Each structure stands twice: as structure tokens, then as C-alpha cells.
Chains A and B, each alone.
Chain A
Amino acid sequence: KQEVTQIPAALSVPEGENLVLNCSFTDSAIYNLQWFRQDPGKGLTSLLLIQSSQREQTSGRLNASLDKSSGRSTLYIAASQPGDSATYLCAVGKTSGSRLTFGEGTQLTVNP
């Protein structure tokens, strides 16, 4: 059974700092990996989607990497802003169109 772990569970940083969120998964036979953002009381917003054949994806200040063989992904956030404060969730899909297995998330607070 696939298990997804995210470290740290919570992170508090001052504004402007670069930071890295970590995600690991136990079964490397994944189809894709996705990073989501969740604001309090809201649904999930997709940030970056990495196919298993890709090594990284970038969107603005966000960069996600994938090392499938070691079962790891990182989300790098550059020049963090208070508006980045949210819970960040990592999820893996085993096949096309299949369920996602989520980690428990990292709660990020960026202090002004």
C-alpha cells in the first residue's frame, strides 16, 4: 500500500526566505506526483503536476522536483511571502485516472 509522508508537519519562516518542503513515498511505481495548496476552510488548488518521466516542474516562484527511484519530491518556494501561508499537500497517482494518495501536509506560516 502506498504511503506518503511529508516533512516537516509545520514550518514558520520570516518573509523573503527561500524554503523547501519534502515529500516521500514508499512505492516508486507512480504515474505522477502533484503538489496542492489548501487554505483554511477551502478546497485544494493544484500547484504543480510532475509526470513520472519528468524530473521537475516550475511555476513562478515554485519549483517541484521528483526523484522517482528514491521515492522523493521537494517543493521549493523562493522569496516567500505572507500570502504563501497555507497547507501544502503532496499526492501521488499510481496509474492514469486513478486515485491520489495524499500526505498529511505541511502547514506553512510566512511571517511579515
Chain B
Amino acid sequence: GAGVSQSPRYKVAKRGQDVALRCDPISGHVSLFWYQQALGQGPEFLTYFQNEAQLDKSGLPSDRFFAERPEGSVSTLKIQRTQQEDSAVYLCASSSTLFDRNTIYFGEGSWLTVV
């Protein structure tokens, strides 16, 4: 596809359940970012990949959060033992090189509700 694709678009999880959120970046994009956006707030950085290397994971809120991009394209954000405070939109973004003079493209997000 032409844009950043995320799946599932909507996920309802019971507290304690594990979830996996997928991101398909724009083909050939080197940089991939994950952000978490709570209702009415701006996005908060979670983690960043350059190709398959996870260069910054300082925004991951706890060790229940794990992200990978094993082949430098598709990425998965995994949340173990979900809690109610994990309810948010998870946004994936990609850019063609280091985020320099190139535009960053966001997906429409995966909306997670933990009940």
C-alpha cells in the first residue's frame, strides 16, 4: 500500500491478556517509530528502529512492553498482561532516512481498550 498500515485497527482486551499490534511501514523506509496517544493528549514516544536495530526504547513505560522489527520492515509492538492504563491509540510512523529533511508518515493507529 501507499501508506503506513496498522493492524488491528481496534482491539478490546481483557485485563491480563497479551496483545500484539502490527505496523507495515512504507516500503523502503529505514526509520520506524511507535508512539502512544491517550485520549485528548499528544502522542508520547515509545521506541525507534533504524532498519532492524532498536536504537531507542527509552519511552517504553514498563517491561511489559516489547517491540521488534526483525527484518527491518514490519514491526510488532507487544504488550503483556495488559492493564487498564494501557488503553490508548498506538501510532506507528516511518520515514525514508533519518528524520532529517524528510517527512514522517503516520499510520491511522491501533485503538486498544483494556476492560
**Which residues does A use to contact B, with CB under 8 Å?**
4, 32, 34, 36, 41-46, 49, 51, 89, 91, 93, 96-105
Contacts and interface: CB of A to CB of B under 8 A. Distances in A.
A45 B106 contact: yes
Give the dominant DSSP class at A's interface: strand
A102 B100 contact: no
Interface stretch (B13-21, B39-47, B69-77): B39-47
Contacts of A104: 40-42
A41 B9 CA distance: 10
A56 to B, nearest CB: 16
Give the dominant DSSP class at B's interface: loop
A96 B101 CA distance: 9
Nearest to A42: B108
B31 A97 contact: yes
A54 to B, nearest CB: 11
A99 B109 contact: no
A109 to B, nearest CB: 15
Given A98-B56, A104-B42, A44 B91 contact: yes
Nearest to A51: B101
A46 B105 CA distance: 7
Interface residues of B, number: 28
B99 A97 contact: yes
Contacts of B104: 34, 46, 100
Nearest to B45: A99
Contacts of B93: 44
Contacts of B4: 43
A41 B31 CA distance: 24
A106 B4 CA distance: 24
A105 B105 contact: no
Which 5 residue pairs of A and B lie closest in terms of their CB atoms, listed nearest first?
Answer: A97-B98, A102-B42, A43-B106, A99-B45, A44-B106
B25 interface: no
